[in-house]
Amino acid sequence: MPLCRLQQFDDGFKKIYDDYPMGSVINTLCKSALTVLAFTMLAVLVTACAASTTHTPGTESTSAENDTGKSGDAFAYRATEATVREGLNNISQRYIDPVDMDELALRGLHGLITIDPSLQLEMDKNNRQVYLNRGETHLAQLKAPQPGEKDATNWAHLTAEVLRAGRSHSEDLQNADNERVYEAVFDGMLSNLDIFSRYAGAEEARANRARRDGFGGIGIRFAKSEDGILVTHVSTDSPAFGVGLKPGDVIVRVNDVQTTGAKLRDVAELLRGPVGSQINLTITRLSDDAKAPQRTIDFNLKRAHIVPESVRVTIADGLMVITVSSFNKNTSNAVHDALTANDQAIRNGSLQGVIMDLRGNPGGLLSQAVNVADLFLEDGLIIATLGRHPDSQHDYLASGVDLARGLPLTLLVDGDSASAAEIVASALQDLGRAVVIGSASYGKGTVQTVIRLPNDGEVTLTWSRFISPSGYAIHGLGVMPAVCATNTAPAKNPVPKNSDSLSDAILAPEHIDGGRNTMDAWRATGLIFDGRRDTLRSACPAKTFKADKNGDLLMKLAVRVIHDPAIYQRAVLLSQPVNTASR
C-alpha cells in the first residue's frame, strides 16, 4: 500500500476538534443500537408482584446519599448521582430540540441495565412506579418523579437507587465501576438524539481536550514502516525541527521502548507528555556514505505545546494556493500571515488570485471558520447560529478588511468538506466574494458544545444550527458550488474524463447558468427539513476529488476560472451578494 494511503498520526493522535469527527459516526450508531432496542421494549405495568421489595427514594436503607449502605456496598453512589444530575440538567436545557425529561431519564435507566441484559426495567406511568425485574421475578419497586417534573435532582437520585437495587441482584452491575455506569447511562440518554451528540469518559475526554487545545509533544506526523515508525512530516518551530529530525527518518526507539511492530496509537502515547518533559529518540537515517548507507542517531528533546499545522501555502505562476486541512486554534492566524506576508505581491499585481482548497476538510472550531472567512470580507453576515438556548444564538459579522484586496478567489470543496469548511464556503459564496468549485459538500451544519461533567468526562451536545447568509440551514444540505463538477456528462453522450473536454463542459456558460435554478431552490429551503434536501443534493452529487493520472481536475478548473474574467464573473453573479439570514 503506498505511503499516502497509510493511516498517518501526529503525536497528538488523530486531530479532533469541537465538531464531532465524521469517522466516529458509525461507531456511535452501532453503540447506540442496543440502547434504543432496550428502550423500545418498555412496557407499562399496572400491578406489582406480591413478592416485590418496595423502595422509596430517600429512606435509610436505600438512600443514595450514603455511599455505604447496610450491605457494606461502597460504590460511589453520590458521585454517580451528581454526574447524572449535571448531565440531565445540561442536556434538557441545551439540546437543539426540546427534550422530555421523563424520556431522557428513562433512556438513561435503560442504558444502565444493558450492563446486565438479564434485567428489565418497566414503568407504570399512571402510578409513577418503576419496576426492576429479571424475567418473571420482581426485584425492586421505586417511585418516579411526578409527570412534568423538570427537577434533574430527583431523576438522578432515582438512577442511583436503581443502580443500588440492581447491584444487590446482579453480578454484572457489581463488577461495573463508575465509569462503566456513566458510559451506559449517558449512551442511553443520548441514543435518541442526533449522531453528533455523545459521551466521552474521563480518559477519552482528557485526550479530546488535549487535541482541541494542543498538547505536549515534539511536532511530527508519522506512519508505520517495516523497520519502525516513519516520520512523514516535521512541523516548523517544533522541538523535532529544532534538533534536526527530518521526514524519512525512522524512529526505532522512544525512551528505551522499541517501536518496531508497535501500534501507531501506542507510539503517539509515548511521544506525548507534559510540556517541558524530556524525551529520547533513536532514529535511523539514510546516508550518502556507500560504506554505511544507514546511520543511527540519538536525539534528546523537550516536549513543547503543539498545535498541529492545518494550513499549507504554496505560490506558483502568480497564484497562491492555501490548503486548509482542518480548523484548529492556529488556522486563521496561519492564513492571515500568508496573506500579509504577500501583501506587496497582492498590491503590485504579481499575485493574480487565491485558491483555497477545503477538500476533505472535516471542520473544527467555529470561531476559526468565522475568522478565516472574515480575512476576505469587508462587510456582511458570515454565519448565524440558531438554537433553543439563548447562548446558542449568534450573528457573526465581517469586520471590514479584505486582506486579499479583492483578488479573484476560488474555493475547492467536495463531499468530505464539512462543518467549519462549509461555513467558509457558504459565506464567501453567498456574499459574492468567491467562486466555489467542486461538488455538494458534506452537509454537517450543526454546532456542538462540550459540557464537562463532575467525573471529568464530557458530553458533546448539538445545540445550534448554521444558517448561511442567504438564509438556508446547511445541515443535511451542504453548500451548492457555483461550478459543479459532478453533473456535466449526459447519460447518452458522456464526456471523456481523460481529456480537456470535461473541463470545457464544466465551465461552459450554459452549464454554469443552468445552476441558477438549483441555487435558488437551495436557498429557498430555509429551515425546512424534508425530502427536498436529498433531491437538491442529487443535482450536484457529492464526490471526493483527488489528483489522478490526468492531474487534479478541480485545481485545473480553479486556475482557469481565475485567469478568465468572463467565467469568474459569470460564476460570481450566480450567487448575488446577499445578507438575509434571520431568526
Spatial separation of the C-alpha atoms in residues 538 and 70, rounded to whole Å: 64
Which residue's entry shows cell 474521563?
202
Contact of 94 with 192, CB cutoff 8 Å: no
Of 440, 417, 556, give the one whose Cα is nearest residue 498.
Answer: 556
Check if the beta carbon of residue 1 is closer than 8 Å to that of residue 348.
Answer: no
What's the length of the chain? 583
Q: Is 362 exposed, middle or buried (0-12, 13-18, 19+ CB in 10 A)?
A: buried
What nine digits make up the cell of 89?
440538567
If you ran DSSP here, which 8-state letter would residue 13 be given? B
530 is catalytic: no
Instruction: Kindly report the backbone phi and psi dihedral angles of residue 245, in degrees, each rounded to the nearest multiple of 5, phi listed first.
Output: -65, 145
Q: Which one of 11, 15, 197, 444 is the catalytic residue?
A: 444
CA distance 217 to 240: 9
Contact in structure between 81 and 149 (CB atoms under 8 Å): no
Which candidate in 10, 102, 357, 430 is catalytic?
Answer: 430
Residue at 393: amino acid letter = Q
Separation of alpha carbons 85 and 187, rounded Å: 15
Rg of the chain over CA atoms, in angstroms?
28
Q: How far is CA 244 from CA 4, 235, 241, 347, in A?
A: 23, 11, 5, 37
Phi, psi angle pair for 554, to nearest 5°:
-65, -35
470 is an active site residue = no
Catalytic residue among 32, 197, 325, 419: 419
Cell of 466: 448554521
CA-nearest of 112, 4, 115 to 360 is 4
Distance CA 128, CA 121 (A): 13
| 430 in catalytic set | yes
Per the CB < 8 A criterion, the answer to whether 80 and 66 are in contact is no
Q: Is the Cα torsion angle 137, 142, 145, 147 positive or negative in sign?
A: positive
Report CA torsion sign: 128, 129, 130, 131. Answer: negative
CA quadruple 367, 370, 373, 377: dihedral sign: negative
How far is residue 27's CA from residue 262's CA, in Å, rounded to a whole number? 24
Distance CA 392, CA 449 (A): 9
Give the 3-state secondary structure of residue 335: helix
Residues 6+ apart with CB under 8 A from 279: 218, 254, 255, 271, 273, 300, 301, 302, 303
DSSP assigned state of 392: G
Burial 138-168 (b: 16+ CB within 10 A, else e): bbbbbbbbeeeeeebebbbbbbbbbbbbbbb
DSSP for residue 497:
T
Residues 6+ positions from 392 with CB-CB distance below 8 Å: 94, 96, 385, 386, 447, 449, 463, 464
Q: What's 313's DSSP letter?
A: E
Active-site residues, by number, are: 419, 430, 444
